[in-house]
Structure 1
């Protein structure tokens, strides 16, 4: 327990329990910051595994958010990456006892629990203790609807299927979801993906056992899917997004950086408006070394300016790319996307990254690898029409050549192209949607107040 906060008189005590992964911890923390900014007397106990406390304990947090820890589910993130399905199963089965023991140690009564949908044990414990629980879904509402209605795919014999033979067939019967190629559904059709699917379907089936369902999305971005889910459930369904750190855009970076990192914002300042392609391909699942080499060579021959987050391969990639751009191990992504010189984002299509790009009004090149990244890519390209696919087929084994990459990025960053101009205009329209949602009286603004009112009233009952 973080004992530095001391005792605090609270009107509401919320326990927040993210799934132990970067794409889940960050949006949960951003939600907690939004809640505490609206209600001074709220206390949030943010529950992390010991590993994750070490990773984020130095980051800024509000005074009324305190950390508490439970033991690691597995020894290290490296093990998680090696056996992702096994890690998900361990999260579902090994966290209940330590979480309940932690609740016993808390000094003030718990008003409500906000738990990642993937952490089912929190809902088990909440129901057992008669504590209202909110299920926090950190992917798109579209993805949740696909999983919640997965029985329809089975009934219509669209699961399981051979993607090489039937991947182009389209599915149009999932409530709130536009017509979709089978190959654009979550990539869970074989091997370890089946184990992941089974566990996630079980997690989604627990949604009716929560008292609230929370989405990181913006209502207007996924209105049809959200309306379908609201009709399905009798309890409140709230969109509280985008749960990205837009409230920090004017702040100086708080994460320790290396010398090369310190220069990237100055470098962006020196570039022409909308001329830089920003590239980030995720931190957990990554592309092959061969594909990275092709991307580097393609960028070099294209002549397009770029800023690439290469993580531990930054130095190596910089050598392959030449001096047409900058490769860094890390950057403040939302600040980069919001910079006037950035005109495009080559993304692995993680949901948080998509929300940041939409908030900044930046069009995308989609490069999904796995899981929800695949339908997210479809949403960008077909539904919102603010991006292009780098490749039509998904998977590590499908290599995109340097010649294809060079031609694609040149066309994508051509500011004189009418097609690109129209795409950029649509991106700016969605940016206005996001800004409107968080403005006074917007959908997110209203939902945050309504959710806080609900959980505060539950304390008084």
Structure 2
């Protein structure tokens, strides 16, 4: 019997999306990476990503991952506080996003519709709730993109099920005590199916802040009115949470991750130009460098920053630390150590470098997905929002890292000795670090195969395109 011919490629579709990310770096990057994946998946899929004028400037100032021709940027005026310093008034920033962006977006949408008709769908970040209302008023399907893990989405979507959370007006007990006889520790899986090892205490501090919690829950009122939900995560790492959500949500659920710029990484590997830090990495032994990046928003306190610097120097481990602010101060603290501090790096490219053997991370979703893709074990230092739950997934569910959070002192700072000890444990393969590294390699393989033809994310990307294509409706 002769070999069967390969199936023909799917026909091109004329499918234009208007996409609205929440104006924060992790959210914008997640949306852009989703658009890259969709545009690469099928001819005829295009996207207009709507950002503020400030964000348009940041994105067009040059960067490691240029957008494909099918993805373009459009800007609304700067009706919200600047990206620089928004952490100083997080509640005020969220309120501005919720109340001031809708009107200019509607005007821009009017212009786009006048040029080319209604889009096939609006893809909106979970935390741009007004976009769901706009789409429903105009009878344009709205797809909610969750740049959080499926586990975190499930916690927030089902928050009313947690103890003392009636109406979303009060926080659950966060002291780790038993809830009732026979129930055991404060595990969220006692109340929300599909979640393992996550504790009520992991919701601190954002979910015990009434104003922050109400803003979060307000967004999920609109999520319930969307036509589908998309996750930047992928099925192999969150199958229980995704299966549970598929049973409970009133709309389709697509997991299309990892939504990271891996296609751009392949293109840049062909580029002979090298940044100075890449030349430094080239000179280091395999798996010898700890990469350190604690995010660009709501970072650690100055006291904690100092302890990290002293701890890294004390560990005698090679490290590369990305630090946008306080570079000169930290450089003074790490003198004599085998490390370097840089203001910026192409993170995925660095994590995939053979010399990088560990990642000290704040556990932002994009950073976590990039570390999994690179097969790099993690040392977690979560701060707020979804980061403690991501840390729990890394350490207790996937077992690809260690947590520093449990070593915090009464003054809310983790000391240099504890940091140095944890760094050495991760990087020098002491204890069970060899098993951690082996499991990280398995998740690296899963991260890569899921996006290949036939993989779960590939199938969900194709199913999503079919779902929103005008010809299919």
TM over 0.5: yes
The reply to whether residue 333 of structure 1 matches residue 347 of structure 2 is yes
Query: For the Cα contact (< 8 Å) 2:47–2:71, is it kept in 1?
Result: yes
How far is 1:250 from its partner? 2.9
3-state SS of the aligned residue for 2:130?
Answer: helix
The reply to whether residue 18 of structure 1 matches residue 12 of structure 2 is no
Q: Which residue of 1 aligns with 2:187?
A: 170
Change (3 A) 1:394 1:127: farther
3-state SS of the aligned residue for 1:318?
Answer: helix
How far is 1:79 from its partner? 5.0
Gaps of 5+ in 1: 1-8
Map 1:97-112; keep pairs closer than 5 Å. 97-106=103-112, 107-109=115-117, 110-112=119-121
3-state SS of the aligned residue for 1:285?
Answer: coil
C-alpha distance in 1 between matches for 2:354 and 2:410:
33
C-alpha distance in 2 between matches for 1:234 and 1:76:
36
3-state SS of the aligned residue for 1:311?
Answer: coil
Change (3 A) 1:67 1:377: same
Q: Which residue of 2 aligns with 1:421?
A: 434
C-alpha distance in 2 between matches for 1:460 and 1:441:
21
Change (3 A) 1:66 1:394: farther
Query: For the Cα contact (< 8 Å) 1:176–1:226, is it kept in 2?
Result: yes
How far is 1:318 from its partner? 2.0
Per-residue CA distance 1:55-77 (angstroms, 9 max, x = gap) = 00244211122221112232412
Q: Which residue of 2 aligns with 1:134?
A: 143
Change (3 A) 1:150 1:362: same
Q: Which residue of 2 aligns with 1:250?
A: 266
How far is 1:262 from its partner? 2.5
C-alpha distance in 1 between matches for 2:292 and 2:228:
36
Question: Which range moved further: 222-231 or 70-79?
Answer: 70-79
How far is 1:102 from its partner? 0.8
What RMSD over aligned residues (CA atoms) do the two structures have, in Å? 2.5
C-alpha distance in 1 between matches for 2:78 and 2:18:
18
Gaps of 5+ in 2: 1-11, 179-184
The reply to whether residue 231 of structure 1 matches residue 244 of structure 2 is no
The reply to whether residue 185 of structure 1 matches residue 166 of structure 2 is no
C-alpha distance in 1 between matches for 2:326 and 2:73:
32
C-alpha distance in 2 between matches for 1:351 and 1:396:
28
C-alpha distance in 2 between matches for 1:112 and 1:397:
49
Q: Which residue of 2 aligns with 1:407?
A: 421
C-alpha distance in 2 between matches for 1:189 and 1:64:
39
Query: For the Cα contact (< 8 Å) 2:36–2:68, is it kept in 1?
Result: yes
Query: For the Cα contact (< 8 Å) 1:370–1:395, is it kept in 2?
Result: no
| Alignment equivalent of 1:48, drawn from 43, 48, 51 | 51
| Alignment equivalent of 1:122, drawn from 100, 115, 131 | 131
How far is 1:395 from its partner? 10
Q: Which residue of 1 aligns with 2:102?
A: 96
C-alpha distance in 2 between matches for 1:287 and 1:351:
17
Q: In the comparison of the two structures, how many residue pairs are matched?
A: 445
Query: For the Cα contact (< 8 Å) 1:288–1:396, is it kept in 2?
Result: no
Runs ≥4 residues deviating over 6 A? 393-396
| Alignment equivalent of 1:160, drawn from 158, 171, 177 | 171
Map 1:296-445; keep pairs closer than 5 Å. 296-322=309-335, 323-392=337-406, 397-415=411-429, 417=430, 419-445=432-458
C-alpha distance in 2 between matches for 1:397 and 1:249:
41
Query: For the Cα contact (< 8 Å) 1:47–1:70, is it kept in 2?
Result: yes
Per-residue CA distance 1:359-395 (angstroms, 9 max, x = gap) = 1111111101111001111111111111111121779
